[in-house]
A and B are shown apart, each in its own frame.
Chain A
Amino acid sequence: MTTSEDVNKIVEAEQENDQKFKHHVCVCVAAGCLSTHSGQVKTALEEEIKKQGLVHECQVKGVGCMGLCAAGPLVSVRESGKVYQEVRPENSADIVAGLNGQSPEPADAPKADQLSAEMPFFSRQVKIVLENCGKIDPNRIEDYIVAGGYQALATALAEMTPPQIVEEVYKSGLRGRGGAGYPTGLKWSTVSKARGNPKYVICNADEGDPGAFMDRSVLESDPHRVLEGMALAAYAVGASQGYVYVRAEYPLAIERLQNAIKQARRMRFLGNDVCGTTFAFNIDVRLGAGAFVCGEETALIASVEGGRGNPKPRPPYPAEAGLWGCPTLINNVETFANIAPIVRNGGSWYASIGTEKSKGTKVFALAGRVKNTGLIEVPMGMTLRQIVFEIGGGIPDGKRLKAVQTGGPSGGCIPEQFLDMPVDYESLNKLGSIMGSGGMIVMDETSCMVDVAKYFMEFCMSESCGKCVPCRVGTAQMHDLLAKITEGRASLDDLQMLEDLCDLVKNTSLCGLGQSAPNPILSTLRYFREEYIDHICNRTCPAGVCKLKAPMEVRA
């Protein structure tokens, strides 16, 4: 039995154990830093501490993503707040000596590169979803509990009714973080009222947008947060079985998620008697197999059922007839990650952050031509300029910003003149882009916008499932037309045909993949039309990316 009191006992025991150590050295062990060998850094630090005889006062912890992935491996010291970047195993002598303010032994040991904790990258962020990332060990459920985890679940099961939870989520104004921005409270309320038994909860972790890695980082750094959110959702809508549908391309995230499920079961936060009540909820992991379309909810359901990921027309919506025909609640990883804090602090607390229609914070994967690439969380309504130039540190190599791409292959490119627009669902839609799941790619003048549009169309073309004609044939035709333009073989008639096709595919495709596939073309045509004209009429690529044929003689 795990009640609030049991949770408190675990917290006390952990805190007591924690206080034995004077220093906590945290090494990032998320995929980004691991690939720059943070595992070796961790071992080197442990050995150095042993060598210095500090085993009883210093603890080395493997923690989740600290955000600044480009500067990895990252090491931080909890007590002093120091953060070191690009740490090599050789730097461990310097870091360990620095704990007690001493100089390293030998004196010529290579210095570790220290970052300022006051740098805007850290200080301008507001962390709700990522509050534990980079602080707790993702492989230990105790760490999550000490950070306040599972408190919301234990309290809710003891003191709240399911409709009260739905009400809190509704009040919070939280909207689906997978991209479409449908009000989460409304979805929950529909599923809770839907007739049918059993009901299912599915977590969409099929993060397919290229250039997006928010869900991967959350699952690798704080998997229990997602499980707690799912359990609260299941209690609220009356489900007893949950699935996490996660990409097979994320082996580390899968491993940590499965480990977390095992731990949660052992501690009765999942299982047939959650927190000692009669509420039963189990979670299984289902693996994707590399199909972008499976991020679409009906396709995802088909894939969980073991078939090809073909979408179905809606209605019926999954809320009424989803997995195996039963009412199903599908939310994205980040949406579920927001639930525990909302239940813990109340919906009105969450609604006090953000803009009028877009509440709370949003996690973005900032990448491309920007200095501080990595994972960030900012309140809704922050401007793109603040994100790119303050948090992101601006464009490297003295280049000029050309556009910011949001929403992946379903989104668009926002040009420099709109950098002061606040980032929320409505503003981005108005600019012809979408919030999307959170990929934010910064492009400078070395990127050709026609080439970028072709890149996304190539993506949509090969990821189209082939079920409906507008998407299957339309994306291929649009790609061919863009290829013609980038190769210098196109005429203005081709441009007209491209625009007509955009309109057709957008309006007649079966699912979101096809409906949004023309967005990158439409938005680049809207803001960078002259680049298309340059390719067609002058046979030149202003960015120097496309290899155009020499001007041809005009055929009659």
Chain B
Amino acid sequence: MSLLEDVQSFVRDANRVTEIGELQTLLEGAVRDLGFDYFALVHHVNIYQAKGDIVYMFDYPQAWAETIDSRGYFTDDPVFMACQKSAAPFTWTDVPNLLTLSERQLEILESAKSAGLGEGFTVPIHIPGEFTGSCTFSTRAGRQIPFMALPAAYYVGSFAFEAARRVVRRESTAKKSGDDARKHPRLTRRQLDCVLLAGRGKSDKDVAQILGITHHSVHQHMEDAKRKYEVATRMQLIVRALFDSQLAFADLVG
């Protein structure tokens, strides 16, 4: 397929997703097709403090995800700061041209490198009246960014962000209206796969391996499923899925 056809098919699929987990899976595929390894699709706010319809999804090396969290890198991430200075997408090598880096910001870039991130390409998302956001694609350490694929990545990032915006807004509207679907939610195929394997006693890590998807995706699918049933634990989720006949006991011992 040509890059344009890749983008068009991504856009068609992204326009139809109804859950963040689906978009996560879709984006992981697109990221690899484009020649990248990781992505982050986020509003530039502290997820723990912000209220409202916040987009926050990523697929990063575990070490980096933990570093961002534990050191609170979110607030002065140089890539996010660069987004405030640019309407156009940019590569990470452009960042020093967009802003003067502080010592802490240089440290952030360094620790990203040692956590296994290579180069990156970031699409800023500026929507009047909303927090700035971005979609970043990056490679693992030692790999070059796929320059030929950047225009396609620009579109994939922009359409992905819009799809995520639409989904988080719909989720919060559904929460408000308290519709009946919540009592008998339907799990997606992927969510069922994950819940089923969890019911067989597999850890998220095992499930990821069996299904050939990332650990983070599995986590996302389980979280989406828990949210649908409004339950807090894996065990409650499995019990509810059984009770609703979305899963049969036979599946669990199979």
Q: Do A and B truly interact?
A: no
Q: Hey, which bits of chain A sit against chain B, CB under 8 A?
A: none
Q: Hey, which bits of chain B sit against chain A, CB under 8 A?
A: none
